[in-house]
Amino acid sequence: MSKLNFLRKGIGAAVVSAALLSGSAVVSAEETIKVGVLHSLSGTMAISETTLKDVMLMLVEQQNAKGGLLGKKLEAVVVDPASDWPLFAEKARELIEKEKVAAVFGAWTSVSRKSVLPVFEELNSLLFYPVQYEGEESSKNVFYTGAAPNQQAIPAVDYLMSEEGGEVKRWVLAGTDYVYPRTTNKILESYLKSKGVADEDIMINYTPFGHSDWQTIVSDIKKFGSAGKKTAVVSTINGDANVPFYKELGNQGIAAEDIPVVAFSVGEEELAGLDTTPLVGHLAAWNYFQSVEAEINESFVEEWKAFIGDEKRVTNDPMEAHFIGFNMWAAAVEKAGTTDPDAVGDAIIGVTAPNLSGGYSAMMPNHHITKPVLIGEIQEDGQFEIVWETPGMVVGDAWSDYLAGSADLISDWRKPLACGNFNTKTGKCGGSGS
């Protein structure tokens, strides 16, 4: 089946069939397929997550304009877990049990994903998770459309180590204090040491969500970078704490040519509220930037600005992840002829959908997708100039090659294996879940 047919198959037939029905046709047409939207609209993560709620509303509207799915209209059900990690689980259960949603698109932080994971596995529902994360997980009920470490963190370090990236020798791993930064930095620390970086050339620092007083920490980073070796900051700082962090870098005169910062959680949306003048030249590693030159991206940006009614609103990487994940889910529903989670889960493996770089991403058997990796440099207008990219798609790796106990694990949800953590040395599955 061709790539485009995955997206088109069955829509016309479903509409024609519905039109031919009598009596009950009116009732059938009024039925909807509910789609859950689980993103923080308040609290520390609202700066990043609100726009993901908005793009989901746009995608649902666009799908309905094309005829919906299986002859039914889609209905977005939006809840606000308010950056409260236990509330994510409560709201997920509400969406699945009360609202009867067919799938949920949402969560940002890994702690929120970890919070809802048992709910999705217990109730056998589907979650499409659109944000870069630390890996070390593969669930039958979750599709990871954001980057795994080998699709963001590892390539970013490789770039900075290269002559083109400045031949960095000392490393500051700065993150928010929760599972994603800690696990990602554990992977990066192991990777750096495998490349010959000494313990004394790695500085690790964690701060709480919403941290605002960066003066001492930035001063320590500046001192660490004054040892005569090229130094870079690898940032896994999340949420609104990025605003005072970048402001303090500017206050202390840390320019990109001195100590470059490469961020994994800062995109166009986060930069929209900042004076980017002192940040020009600092970097971010993502799989998409608004500045990508591709016809499909130009159309997407135009549609987004029209939908939101604001020419100043920007697009970003997690929005693209929802774009890809939503279209993959819609294609799998059409392919399966049902929204049943098990049927959709089987149908979605191998499905391809357009990404916004002009290519196609594929859903792999480990529930991760193929993506290009891009390094962008912050510009004065808050956009990114792409300075490096992988030559092709990178397959997301659920289990890191650089952590003991993970290097021998693979994930493959195709039957008969259907295992998220199969040990290639022992030949045994560690369990049916994550």
DSSP 60-73: HHHHHHTT-BTTBE
In a domain, 424, yes or no: no
Torsion sign over Cα 255, 256, 259, 263:
positive
Of 370, 404, 423, the residue that ends a domain is 370
In a domain, 422, yes or no: no
In a domain, 434, yes or no: no
227 and 353 both lie in a single domain: no
Q: How many domains does the chain have?
A: 2
What per-residue confidence (pLDDT) applies to 430?
Answer: 86
Do 381 and 374 meet the contact criterion of CB atoms below 8 Å apart? Answer: no
Burial (CB < 10 A; 0-12, 13-18, 19+), residue 62, is middle
In a domain, 433, yes or no: no
124 and 160 both lie in a single domain: no
> Around Cβ 186, how many Cβ atoms within 10 Å?
18
Instruction: Give, for 207, the enclosing helix (H) or strand (E).
Output: strand 202-207
126 and 203 both lie in a single domain: no
Q: For the whole model, what pTM was predicted? A: 0.87
* Whole-number Å distance between alpha carbons of 217 and 244: 12
Burial (CB < 10 A; 0-12, 13-18, 19+), residue 123, is middle
Residue type for 215, please? Q
Do 241 and 209 meet the contact criterion of CB atoms below 8 Å apart? Answer: yes
Full pLDDT tens readout for the chain, 434 residues? 333 333 333 333 333 333 333 333 333 435 899 999 999 999 999 989 999 999 999 999 999 999 999 999 999 999 999 999 999 999 999 999 999 999 999 999 999 999 999 999 999 999 999 999 999 999 999 999 999 999 999 999 999 999 888 899 999 999 999 999 999 999 999 999 999 999 999 999 999 999 999 999 999 999 999 999 999 999 999 888 888 998 899 899 998 999 999 999 888 988 887 788 878 999 999 999 999 999 999 999 999 999 999 999 999 999 999 999 999 999 999 999 999 999 999 999 999 999 999 999 999 999 999 999 999 999 999 999 999 999 999 999 999 999 988 999 999 999 999 999 999 999 999 864 44
335 and 351 both lie in a single domain: yes
What per-residue confidence (pLDDT) applies to 432?
Answer: 46
What per-residue confidence (pLDDT) applies to 266?
Answer: 87
* Whole-number Å distance between alpha carbons of 16 and 425: 52
325 and 276 both lie in a single domain: no
159 and 210 both lie in a single domain: yes
In a domain, 420, yes or no: no
274 and 385 both lie in a single domain: yes
Do 256 and 280 meet the contact criterion of CB atoms below 8 Å apart? Answer: yes
105 and 181 both lie in a single domain: no
279 and 315 both lie in a single domain: no
* Whole-number Å distance between alpha carbons of 284 and 330: 30
182 and 256 both lie in a single domain: yes
266 and 204 both lie in a single domain: yes
In a domain, 158, yes or no: yes
CATH at residue 385: 3.40.50.2300
In a domain, 125, yes or no: yes
What per-residue confidence (pLDDT) applies to 431?
Answer: 62
Range of the domain at 344: 3-148+292-370
The candidate with the shortest Cα–Cα distance to 71, out of 147, 15, 4, 139, is: 15
In a domain, 402, yes or no: no
256 and 382 both lie in a single domain: yes
What per-residue confidence (pLDDT) applies to 242?
Answer: 87
The dihedral over CA atoms of 165, 171, 175, 181, expressed in degrees to the nearest 10, equals 80
